[in-house]
Chains A and B, each alone.
Chain A
Amino acid sequence: MGEILSKILTYIFVIIIYLFIYAIIRMIYFDIRAMNRKKSGGLADAYLKLINLRRDLDFNIDESYELEDDEVIGRGAKCTLRLPDKYLSVRHCRIYKADGSFFIEDLDSTNGTFLNGDELGDEAVELIDGDKISIGRLNFIFVMPKGVDE
């Protein structure tokens, strides 16, 4: 019996090493992505600018985040934009681009998503340059320098 059991456990042992490597590489990947976001400022259509004072927050956060065509913001590992604020839901809200405009949508977050002080309902709302977005303890300004279409 021992032979087969130790074989199976050995497989598990090796698989754990691979899972570990996968987890590390994934983290590194997110790291690099975050770094690239930081570096290539100004090239994207739109970005979120933090208006909290960073020293008021007890976690690390960047001054600005570029927005790609579809971003899910939240605390969870699967979010495209991960923010470590514990007042955020795992999947908090989504900002996406459609017909040249950006829209924001709440993803049933516990503490809600606020646009210029008003809590978002079930429907997505179009974002305009200068809108203030509040999620958890974080406040951002939505910046879209080039304007919409036209």
Chain B
Amino acid sequence: MSYARSMKPLFYIILLNAVGAALISISGGARSPEALVLTGAICVVSIICYTVVSFAGFGDPYLFLIISMLGSVGGIMQLRIRTAYGVRQLKWFLLGTACYFLAMLIFLAMRKILPRLTPLYVGVSVALYAATLVFGRTSHGSRNWIVIGGDNGLSIQPSELIRIFFVLTLAAIFTAQPDKNSKKKKKADGDKPFGLRPNAARLLSASAVTAVNLGFLLLQREWGIALLFFATYFFFIYVYGASRGYLLLNAAAAVGVGAVSLKYMGHIQTRVEAWLNPFADASGKGYQITQSLFAIGEGGFVGRGIGEGSVYFIPEVHSDFIFSAICEEMGILGGFAIVMLYFVLTYRGFKIALACTNRFNKAVAFGLSLMLGLQSFIIIGGVTKMIPLTGITLPFISYGGSSMLTTFAAYGILQAISALKEETTDEL
């Protein structure tokens, strides 16, 4: 683009880290020099990456800025909750930055063959699911962790990585060039009422892939990710030409599965009950959500101050419930700011998809930005009792390495696609 880039956003990121560091040190207790060094490192990395992206022509300069901002807020909140979490989170962030550019470079290098790798995506996904089921460890009712190297070893949540493969699979399916065979078939069966529109084969294979994914996820009781996958799939088939009838059929199927699981699976029943009436069993089933709501309510509009809230009453405060802690200490105005950051990030992703001319890249950009936007909505809506709570992480803010690295990689791909777009417009 054709004008000097403003340095203001960078300045704000640095300022925010400085204020955050001051807050952490006055809130008593945790004064870790390591944490200070790491927040400084975040600032330096933000400056470098922004400059590199802007001047090396890697496309959209906003993505990384917004991610830095979210990561900084997340780092400060983690430090405030527990220094050890914060330090590890900031390290994950730095590592994530590397993932970001790595994913970008890989995507750029392989962009010609990526659309043809559908079987690979499905295969890797299934392998990861199988590995989770065999070696997995159950935590909070979901069997979704693989631990490598004993109790203190590395914990990986494969479903976080599968998110990317899922989007790649759908994108590849929907943008596949019909081969000669299927063309002939189309002509031959053109007048029959079912399955014979040009898109039908794609829709059906997309549905099949999604069904496989959902099946595994439900086995692992990963309801959050299952919901996320279904919503992503649903919008995919909407954008890529499913008829109204097919959309309705899918919605009905989802409702059906939901109803059946509501009836026969205690796990789901509990969640819905806790959503409808958390106070019926506020010390049991409704404990998480009520504690979360108390935190948000006590925070009011402007919050109790970072370090002044009683966030340790909220269960899982460092991961799924981090948004409640943000609302308690920064108020819902602080919460709004976070939601707006996610919105701007999602908007940028959609913008990249819209500007993109390559069909496969467009679908990938659309899918990734849609999925990550939905993910932040699902968990924010969940902890505020807007929608039933399903455990899922808040991108860049929740504690966790798998989530951080894979989300970074996903946005790295978006960055690559935006760079490609610039390339093409310049050529034109």
Contact = CB atoms under 8 A, between A and B. Distances in A.
A37 to B, nearest CB: 10
Q: In terms of DSSP, what is the predominant structure of the interface of chain A?
A: helix
Given A14-B334, A18-B337, A21-B337, A83 B23 contact: no
A66 B198 CA distance: 43
B304 interface: yes
A16 B76 CA distance: 14
Given A10-B23, A11-B302, A31 B330 contact: no
Given A20-B12, A21-B340, A24-B62, A2 B28 contact: yes
A77 B11 CA distance: 15
Contacts of B304: 7
B305 interface: yes
Greatest chain A CB density within 10 A among B1, B6, B347, B348 is at: B1
Nearest to A88: B4
B62 A28 contact: yes
B82 interface: no
A53 interface: no
B32 to A, nearest CB: 18
A21 B305 CA distance: 21
Interface residues of A, number: 35
Range of interface residues on B (Cβ < 8 Å):
35 or more
A62 B425 CA distance: 12
Interface stretch (B13-21, B121-129, B245-253): B13-21
Contacts of A13: 16, 19-20, 23, 76, 306, 330, 334
Nearest to B20: A13
A3 interface: yes
A31 B12 CA distance: 20
A75 B3 CA distance: 8
B47 interface: no
A24 B9 contact: yes
12 contacts: A2-B26, A3-B305, A6-B23, A6-B27, A10-B23, A10-B329, A17-B12, A20-B341, A23-B9, A27-B62, A31-B1, A77-B6
Given A13-B76, A28-B62, 20 more contacts: A2-B27, A2-B307, A6-B305, A6-B307, A7-B305, A7-B308, A9-B22, A10-B330, A10-B334, A12-B19, A14-B302, A16-B15, A17-B69, A18-B337, A19-B8, A27-B9, A34-B2, A60-B3, A62-B2, A84-B4
